[in-house]
Structure 1
Amino acid sequence: MSPLIEITDPKIFDPSVIIVDVRAGANARERYFQGHLPNAIFATLDDDLAAHPDAPAVGGRHPLPSLQDFAETLTRWGLTPDTHVIVYDDKSAAMGGARLWWMLRSIGHTNVQVLDGGLKAATDAGVELSTADYQPTAAAVTYPIPEEYKHTVDLEEVKQAAQDEGRVVIDVREGARYQGLTEPLDLVAGHIPGAVNLFYSNSLSPEGKYLTSQALASLYKDTIGDIKPENVIVHCGSGVTACHTLLGMEHAGITGPKLYVGSWSEWSRRGLPIATQ
């Protein structure tokens, strides 16, 4: 199954498919009520796709929810392990859509796709949006609690990988943050020594949709070179937009890169070496 789906695909309006609209930010619910796909479940990055850390120095600003909490959320949304799920957000999948896709794939739920272009693709196609408060029906059977989130790495592994010529750590934040010229969200500006920069939005067309799989493969190849996918680690500020790049890699046929969930929000709070420029 392709990780992406087009708004013209009739499966988006199949009643057996569960659609999840993931928003981020303080006005997330307000934006949802301004217009969403019919029968789309409202979800938020902060409440549904992340735990609430007491200290971002351990796990970053958006640590993964416990496996039990995530299973309970999926049950509340009506999912079973076989459910076809389509997810989207209003930021070309960069602020929640790809994160939910990655989380589901990480626990072994493979029947999930992301709407390419997100909400904008729907409005551009003339889809009539809904302003209703859609409430899902909980699944009759509790979603099994997964054993783990696969394809993640911790801070110690990132330390080693960033200095290993046989591995690569990719920082997908914008260049000014990577170079230490500005830092709007975390305490210290800069990047992990040894990490390379590939801004996540380079994967998108001007219309906010992913480039073709061939164009993406070429883009990522320029950064990865001959390094095996399983030796690639992707991170961002807090483990969210990194999933956007991981989705792009999957679409390009690059399967196996790992996510550093804590990302810069964890690294920058641990008194570790920091590089700039």
Structure 2
Amino acid sequence: MVKPIIQPLDLIELVKANDVVIIDAGNVVSYGMQHLKGAKHIDLNTDMANVPDNAAKGGRHPLPDPVSFGAVLGRLGIKPHSHVVVYDDKNGALSAARFWWMLKAAGHKNVQVLNGGVTAAAKAGFPLSDLVELSEPAAPYVFTQWQLPQAYIDDVEKAADNSMKIIDVRAAARFRGETEPLDAIAGHIPGAINVPYETNLDADGFFLEPEILAQKYLEVLGDTNTKDVIVHCGSGVTACHALLAIDYAGLPLPRLYVGSWSEWSGRGKTVAVGE
């Protein structure tokens, strides 16, 4: 099984020797201006989520059903044996990590996130393009259920009252309730601890080394079993950045709460502020 993170120079060598499906999960406008040559675009709102009319119904970015996502994968030319590399223009936090988690949850083995994204790959010498890349469609990717651990709002409510840990990866100011740019209510889930996703990266925007990430998350988790850990963010997207870091560190994956703060706050659940 491949490592969850691939370095830019390794991607260049991989493309020379293998048939690789490269996915740009960044902003569609940025994709139209510049992307890695050969990369196909995937959209968070239309391809990776079943966006509701009310965020209280599963959050701002609920997962699509397996049939819908399988059709998207087929459209992108992704087959069960494909080696897939995904990136975005925000060090994996915009949508690349979410796509990585979804593809793994579909049962796919060979999927990696590009360390440093398009900027790092360009600096390493990977050619760029502004042309829309057309893929040769494959048959719909067939899977029947999401295969990675998830938590739902009832699980989170119970977790706040027992020994389970809830990790909130949003920025510290959002966690403390000092600002809220996206959701109607500011604050955090009672009992949650704040581990901002940016702390997975070094000053240059690359993921920290696996050993450093392992030490960091072992300190956060203590003796709590990862099956008793729930990770969330605002809408189940940047939470996947933490899950990617945890996997890169060689630790078992905790549960993803896809609904996240957008669902919790939209349901009128109890809100905490401050540290």
TM range (shorter): over 0.9
Q: What's 2:254 paired with?
A: 257
Contact 2:36–2:128 (CA<8 Å) still a contact in 1?
yes
Contact 1:175–1:199 (CA<8 Å) still a contact in 2?
yes
Q: What's 1:227 paired with?
A: 224
What pairs with 1:1-277 in structure 2 (closer than 5 Å)? Answer: 1-9=2-10, 10-14=13-17, 16-23=19-26, 28-139=27-138, 141-165=139-163, 167-277=164-274
Q: Where does the alignment leave 5 or more consecutive residues of structure 1 unmatched?
A: none
- In structure 2, how many angstroms separate the alpha carbons of the residues matched to 1:238 and 1:156? 16
- Partner AA of 2:141 in structure 1: Y
- Partner AA of 1:226 in structure 2: D
Q: Structure 1-normalised TM-score?
A: 0.95
How many pairs were matched up? 271
- In structure 1, how many angstroms separate the alpha carbons of the residues matched to 2:113 and 2:253? 18
- Partner AA of 1:155 in structure 2: I
**What do the CA deviations read for 1:192-251 (whole angstroms, capped 9, x no partner)?**
001100000001011111000011111112211111112111000000000000000000
- In structure 2, how many angstroms separate the alpha carbons of the residues matched to 1:93 and 1:133? 21
Indicate the percent of aligned positions where both proteins have the same amino acid.
45
- In structure 1, how many angstroms separate the alpha carbons of the residues matched to 2:126 and 2:83? 21
- In structure 2, how many angstroms separate the alpha carbons of the residues matched to 1:135 and 1:91? 24
Contact 1:20–1:40 (CA<8 Å) still a contact in 2?
yes
- Partner AA of 1:210 in structure 2: F
Going from structure 1 to structure 2, the CA distance change for 1:41 and 1:15 (only over 3 Å counts) comes to farther
Contact 1:71–1:146 (CA<8 Å) still a contact in 2?
no
- In structure 1, how many angstroms separate the alpha carbons of the residues matched to 2:198 and 2:49? 22
Secondary structure of the residue aligned to 1:268 is helix
Secondary structure of the residue aligned to 2:235 is coil
Contact 2:93–2:241 (CA<8 Å) still a contact in 1?
yes
Q: Structure 2-normalised TM-score?
A: 0.95
Contact 2:107–2:143 (CA<8 Å) still a contact in 1?
no
CA RMSD of aligned residues (A): 1.2
**What do the CA deviations read for 1:143-194 (whole angstroms, capped 9, x no partner)?**
21332353111000011112222x2110000111111111110000000001
- In structure 1, how many angstroms separate the alpha carbons of the residues matched to 2:146 and 2:101? 13
Contact 1:116–1:209 (CA<8 Å) still a contact in 2?
yes
- In structure 2, how many angstroms separate the alpha carbons of the residues matched to 1:89 and 1:133? 16
CA shift for structure 1 position 14: 4.7
- Partner AA of 1:98 in structure 2: A
- In structure 2, how many angstroms separate the alpha carbons of the residues matched to 1:159 and 1:19? 38
**What do the CA deviations read for 1:117-140 (whole angstroms, capped 9, x no partner)?**
11121122233211111110101x
- Partner AA of 1:16 in structure 2: D
- Partner AA of 1:164 in structure 2: N
Moved over 2 A (4+): 12-15, 145-150
Q: Where does the alignment leave 5 or more consecutive residues of structure 2 unmatched?
A: none
Contact 1:12–1:86 (CA<8 Å) still a contact in 2?
no
